Structure 1
Amino acid sequence: MKFIFNLKFMDKEVIKEYYDYTLPFYRFFYHKESNAVHYGFWDKSVKNHTEALLNVNKFLAEAVGVKSGDVILDAGCGIGGSAIWLAKNYDTKVVGITISEKQLEEAKNLSLKNKVDLATNFYKKDFLNSGFDNESFSVVWAIESVCHAEDKKDFLKEAYRLLKNGERLVVDDGFLLRQPKDKHEEKDLSAFLEGMALSNLAVESEFKKSLEEVGFKNIKI
């Protein structure tokens, strides 16, 4: 299968096909404890990538103050790694959404295997237009998924709509510190974006500004 990418606009169908097609390759790197492939969070306590993957869940859960009774949306849940971890480690309900049918099937199977199927639900939905009711969640959780949104502000607007008043958004993703300054940097960035089925990466300062414009408060980066 050959993918034709338009870096000015990465159609969600292309993103879906990318994850459907690459799932067997990603699966090769999955570890049964993490059920995910991310960069992870590395600190002095971490000895390997699997530990880093679990550590990012722990770090984000503590950072956003996940607590018993939370109803969490995992926006761009992949095969359900974070959702399953949250359900196993906290007394929470977790809803995971993905646009990939194959990821959806895998997430449902893994939730059964990990005996958290009563605490998790997975759906094929677009995190830019989820269809859930206003103020349905106490936490919106997004790990390396917002990068796939053409306009990151569209994701933030939907997350804000879905969150109960005063509740929490946590995002772990890749950002630029600045735009490329020459053609060489543009070429390197374009190669990275194409390989990961991304149309762009947000500049950190612009993302923070978008958070403020949408209405988020107490922003920590």
Structure 2
Amino acid sequence: MFTNRDIADYYNQTLNHYQDWWGLNKNFAVHYGIWDTNTNNFNEALVNTNRILMEIADIREGERILDAGCGVGGSAFYLAKHRNVQVCGITLSEKQHSYAVKKCNELGVETHVNFKIEDYSQTSFPDNSFNVIWAIESITSSYNKEKFTKEAFRLLKPGGRLIIADYFKSKPDQEDSKNLLEKWRKLWTMAPFLCLPEYKVIFQNTGFKLSNERDVTKQIIPTAKRMYRSYLFGGPLAIVYNILFNPRKFARTHYKSGLYQYKALKRGLWNYSILLFEKPNNELTSTST
């Protein structure tokens, strides 16, 4: 089981990998890119992910957004620019936080965006603080998803939305003889994967209503291939680097994740889906009854 310290260490130790292989300094994204027929390059795919989630969540001008697991702030910057909203991004990683704050000041969006080091399952915010909670590929790190769902429910205003994009195990009893999912998740400090049905039950038991669901697995395949190519071309360099410099544990084996995620995807062991949950609007409910 990975602790919050482990998760922070993973992102601290691998930030330079995302800069070198993911174009972090240009797109500020650490998530999968979603491709469609109009997508010309990887940067556009990364932007697509933000755009698609923004549209599904129907984010509106003036709303308050919590980016739960904000990375280096790319989604927050995008939302502030395209919807004129207030965004607070939270992360466990000190390096991600420092990077995000620096970029926020450079972009001149500090009146709309701020960042904090916090655990999304136990935050310092008062009840009913946000219209939307945004979580791209972050809840998969939580071992106690019930705790997160209760915190998210507390933080959202009545009628608020929780938008999630994440990885899910395809079947509960699927054959994975090479333990590809297990190897991958350990390299990224993730909790064991859940299937979509059991995942949705956790959120619905807390009181959320599922209002939208979209499987975009086929659309992230080019991104998975890019990560696999990073393994093929970067792997030999990583091995030499490990011998010469003996990096810390997460940085040392990170390159292998490109192999495991792609092989597991090719075997149909996981899917990538977007889920939109809503917190019931009690005022509307009471008015109609």
Give the TM-score normalised by the residue count of structure 2. 0.71
List runs of 5+ in structure 1 lacking aligned partners. Answer: 1-8
Maintained 8 Å contact 2:30/2:71: no
Question: How far apart are 1:73 and its partner, in Å?
Answer: 0.2
Looking at structure 2, the residues matched to 211 and 170 of structure 1 have their Cα atoms a distance apart, in angstroms, of 12
1:23 and 2:15 are equivalent in the alignment: yes
Question: How far apart are 1:156 and its partner, in Å?
Answer: 1.4
Amino acid at match of 2:113: T
1:198 and 2:187 are equivalent in the alignment: no
Counterpart for residue 207 of structure 2:
215
Amino acid at match of 1:96: G
1:79 and 2:79 are equivalent in the alignment: no
Amino acid at match of 1:220: N
Counterpart for residue 133 of structure 1:
126
Question: How far apart are 1:71 and its partner, in Å?
Answer: 0.2
Maintained 8 Å contact 1:100/1:124: yes
Question: How far apart are 1:218 and its partner, in Å?
Answer: 4.0
List runs of 5+ in structure 2 lacking aligned partners. Answer: 214-289
Looking at structure 1, the residues matched to 155 and 55 of structure 2 have their Cα atoms a distance apart, in angstroms, of 21
Question: Which one has the largest radius of gyration?
Answer: 2
Matched residue SS, 2:212: coil
Question: How far apart are 1:199 and its partner, in Å?
Answer: 2.3
Once structures 1 and 2 are overlaid, which stretch shifts more, 160-169 or 190-199?
190-199
Counterpart for residue 88 of structure 1:
81
Looking at structure 1, the residues matched to 54 and 146 of structure 2 have their Cα atoms a distance apart, in angstroms, of 23
Matched residue SS, 1:173: strand
C-alpha distance after superposition, 1:133-184 (max 9, x if no partner):
0100000000010010012222111111100001111001111122353460
Of 157, 160, 180, which residue of structure 1 is paired with 2:150? Answer: 157
Matched residue SS, 2:211: coil
Question: How far apart are 1:115 and its partner, in Å?
Answer: 1.3
Looking at structure 2, the residues matched to 118 and 70 of structure 1 have their Cα atoms a distance apart, in angstroms, of 14
More helix by share: 2
Looking at structure 2, the residues matched to 52 and 166 of structure 1 have their Cα atoms a distance apart, in angstroms, of 30
Maintained 8 Å contact 2:68/2:90: yes
Looking at structure 2, the residues matched to 30 and 118 of structure 1 have their Cα atoms a distance apart, in angstroms, of 26
Matched residue SS, 1:50: helix
Looking at structure 2, the residues matched to 92 and 108 of structure 1 have their Cα atoms a distance apart, in angstroms, of 17
Of 102, 107, 111, which residue of structure 2 is paired with 1:114? Answer: 107
Amino acid at match of 1:103: Q
Looking at structure 1, the residues matched to 210 and 137 of structure 2 have their Cα atoms a distance apart, in angstroms, of 22
Maintained 8 Å contact 2:132/2:156: yes
1:105 and 2:101 are equivalent in the alignment: no
Amino acid at match of 1:160: F
Looking at structure 2, the residues matched to 43 and 152 of structure 1 have their Cα atoms a distance apart, in angstroms, of 31
Identity %: 37
Maintained 8 Å contact 1:177/1:205: no
Residue 11 and residue 44 in structure 1: after superposition, are their counterparts in 2 closer, same or farther (change >3 A)? same
Amino acid at match of 1:59: I
Maintained 8 Å contact 1:36/1:79: yes
Counterpart for residue 3 of structure 1:
none
Aligned length: 212
Maintained 8 Å contact 1:31/1:50: no
Of 136, 144, 147, which residue of structure 2 is paired with 1:143? Answer: 136
Amino acid at match of 1:118: T
Looking at structure 1, the residues matched to 71 and 176 of structure 2 have their Cα atoms a distance apart, in angstroms, of 33
